[in-house]
Amino acid sequence: MSNPQQLRYSKEHEWLSGAEDGVSTVGITEHAANALGDVVYVQLPEVGATVTAGETCGELESTKSVSDLYSPVTGEVVAANQDVVDDPSLVNSAPFEGGWLFKVRASEEPGDLLSADEYTDFAS
């Protein structure tokens, strides 16, 4: 498993990109996608919704289980990935690329996000 170095990670297995024009992208890690198994349904927060760091903001359903989606930051959702809603398997096949989940304009970022190396140690 190779976690991209430029991302930061939560202990709930979400990743967060660096902010571009104040907007960060959120997804789940390859580790989480593999643990879930084949994702068959994705519920994402709606555009305009406020998400809170560490709180549930959606759901991922797989052939194995249902898992809550947690936001790694507090802020306003500015985009949701409709491609993932239409084809949930993108979460498994491209968790760091086309399988991203939503974009958020963060108003507050927790200090407990992990680097790629820290997350790799945490997840193993």
Q: How far apart are CA 11 and CA 23, in angstroms?
A: 21
R_g of the chain computed on alpha carbons: 13
Question: Is residue 32 over pLDDT 90?
Answer: yes
Q: What is the mean pLDDT of residues 19-38?
A: 93
Give me the pLDDT at residue 2, please.
81
Q: Are 80 and 102 within 8 A, CB to CB?
A: yes
Q: What is the mean pLDDT of residues 83-91?
A: 97
> Tens of pLDDT along 88-110?
999 999 999 999 999 999 987 67
Give me the pLDDT at residue 60, please.
97
Q: How far apart are CA 96 and CA 4, in angstroms?
A: 8
Strand order in the sheet with 14-16: 8-9, 14-16, 23-28, 102-108, 74-80, 50-51
Q: How far apart are CA 60 and CA 42, in angstroms?
A: 5
Angle at 124 between CA 95 and CA 120, to 5 degrees: 55
Give me the pLDDT at residue 108, please.
76
Question: Is residue 81 over pLDDT 90?
Answer: yes
Q: How far apart are CA 89 and CA 56, in angstroms?
A: 21
Question: Is residue 111 over pLDDT 90?
Answer: no
Band (pLDDT 50/70/90 cuts) for residue 1 is: low
